[in-house]
A and B are shown apart, each in its own frame.
Chain A
Amino acid sequence: MIDQELVKKVAHLARLELTESEVKQMTTQLGSILDYFEQLGELDVSDVQPTTRAIDVSNITRPDQLQVSVDREQMLAIAPDQDGDFFRVPKILNN
């Protein structure tokens, strides 16, 4: 069910560069983990509502007031590369 092509596709979605040997290993391991998940098929859940969080709290709001946030200089200082007020990244489009 899961093959190397699918593993490569998922790795791309996850922005993970995998080596050929990692692709092989992941294909085997994900295969056996997904097989293990099959046992959930024993349960009939057609009329069951999903639980998104165990203890439900919803619609938490607060007044829309300005608050002191983390210092901008400090945030920029811990970035791998920065230019003035910006985070610097490699070029987005290839030539």
Chain B
Amino acid sequence: MASIRELHQQLVSKTRSATEITQAALATIQQLEPKLHSFLLVTADYALAQASRVDAQIAAGEEIGWLAGIPIGIKDNFCTQGIATTCGSKILSGFIPPYESTVTRKLNLGGAVMVGKTNLDEFAMGSSTENSAYQVTANPWDLTRVPGGSSGGSAAAVSAGECVVALGSDTGGSIRQPAAFCGVVGLKPTYGLVSRYGLVAFASSLDQIGPFATSVEDAAILLGAIAGHDPQDATSLNVPISDYTQSLIPDLKGKKIGVIQETFGEGLDPIVAEAVQQAIQQLKDLGAEIREISCPRFRYGLPTYYIIAPSEASANLARYDGVKYGLRAKDADNLLSMYAKTRAEGFGTEVKRRIMIGTYALSSGYYDAYYLKAQKVRTLIKQDFEAAFEQVDVLVSPTCPTTAFKAGEKTADPLSMYLSDLMTIPVNLAGLPGLSLPCGFDPEGLPIGLQMIGNVLREDQLFQAAYAYEQATEWHKRTPKL
């Protein structure tokens, strides 16, 4: 599918209408969904109504924004007023939010055309989108493989051209890992840059919203549209938002890029390692100074995360009690058993597992040994990054240890599934911005992702480094054959 810039040009020059662009996206969705299952809900009427509003604006000679008339997929954990929001969970089946999330409201006001709600691991807990209670999404590059997760539907939809861009959420890698597996650009911004109001909460100290796109420029445009302070989210940062497209400079002279040594160890697929090493060489050729950086506590990110995230989740998911909205179990004879039965029926295995881990870690007698300890290790991981950013502007690593794995391969062993987020998790723990972009393909034709990590609120540095690399390579031009 064309870029935002190209489509915008077509719209303002009146060579193509927003309705035509939307119809084309809906036709692609109709053609590909039987294979991909990226969308839990296709909002065709809603999209066409929005497109015709944009066409009316253009006809009236009004100026339109970058995202006006652009088809976008929204992960199904954003509350959309009047439109079903399931979070991939049976406990929210039939839930129609009575309010709109801040970011989707901003996008609506800017004329963006939501074409549907994308599939995800239930409550964004997972790395393969196989934990959705509704359907399994296929990887567009190989339909027998997973698209990654938890934002697998958004990643697959953008990769396959079902929409131009999409929104995801990233708690431990849920944007960057599926972006890597599907060969697209995915960005998790600095914690607090984008309002989480109306994003269904998983782990509140880690969750952050970000864009999927087929180019760095499209990701920069979409981030610019959703970033910014929101009084409805007390953790949102009150900082000026720069025009990220100004950072798209294809030159890295004077930039210092650090390579995290600890990410090249055991468990890393040699093919991924080689592609990332070549990308590092290319960054050097573009003028960057490359430094080896050690983050000795990086590897403790995974156990730390799997204490903190489930603990916060166990508290956040206490609200699903069958009283105010969503599912209620039928055959309970008192309140307590109604809670327990509703949650037993409504939650899937992975969500139950994480609620159990979190409840245990927070329970009396274990709090100090687990939750408090993990929060202290979180400080150490953050200190490693702080030391690194005294020496360099951007850090790089592989996004994931492997390329996309086969559906069903890791579902029986939760720990092996957790390991696929080894390299993305520490970034969430430190609240830093992280971006994944394509840096090669394995011999089976599966995309490989390069992760770039920036200092707090230095998305501009990430966009510059990613753009320079993208412009010097051809990886982003490949599309899956479907």
Name 20 extra pairs, CB < 8 A, besides A15-B339, A29-B353.
A7-B356, A10-B356, A13-B359, A15-B321, A15-B336, A16-B344, A17-B337, A17-B343, A30-B360, A32-B415, A34-B360, A37-B307, A39-B300, A43-B297, A51-B375, A51-B378, A54-B432, A55-B431, A80-B328, A90-B334
User: Looking across the interface, which residue of chain B has its beta carbon closest to that of A45?
Assistant: B376
**A62: contacting residue among B231, B297, B456, CB under 8 A:** B231
Residues of B within 8 A of A (CB): 95-96, 98-99, 190-192, 205-206, 231, 234-235, 237, 297, 300, 303-304, 306-307, 314, 318, 321-328, 332-341, 343-344, 347, 352-353, 355-357, 359-360, 363, 370, 372-380, 382, 414-415, 428-432, 456
Residue of B nearest to A32 (CB): B415
Q: What is the 8 Å Cβ interface bit string for chain A, positions 47-80, against chain B (1 contact, 0 not)?
A: 0111111110100101000000011001100111
Considering the complex, give the chain B residue whose CB is closest to the CB of A92: B335
Instruction: For the complex, give the distance between the alpha carbons of A54 and B95 in Å.
Output: 32
With A10-B356, A13-B359, A29-B414 known as contacts, the answer to whether A89 contacts B95 (CB < 8 A) is: no
B82 to chain A, nearest CB (A): 10
Pair count A-B, CB < 8 A: 162
Note all chain A residues with C-beta closer than 8 A to B382.
51, 54
Q: Which residues of B lie under 8 Å from residue A18 when comparing CB positions?
A: 344, 352
Distance in angstroms from A24 CB to nearest chain B CB is 13
B interface, by DSSP: helix, strand, loop or mixed? helix
Query: Within 8 Å CB of B360, what residues of A?
Result: 2, 6, 10, 30, 34
Known: A48-B380, A94-B334. Contact between A40 and B430, CB under 8 A? Answer: no
Interface range, A side? 35 or more
A residues less than 8 Å from B373 (CB atoms): 40, 45
Q: A16-B347, A29-B353, A40-B377 are in contact. Are A89 and B335 (CB under 8 A)?
A: yes
CB pair B380–A43 under 8 Å, yes or no, is yes
B370: chain A residues at CB < 8 Å are 37
A63 to chain B, nearest CB (A): 11
Query: In the assembled complex, how far is the CB of residue B127 from the closest CB belonging to chain A, in whole angstroms?
Result: 15
- CB atoms of B431 and A53 under 8 A apart: yes
- By a CB distance below 8 angstroms, the chain B residues around A39 are 300, 303
A3 at the interface (CB under 8 A from B): no
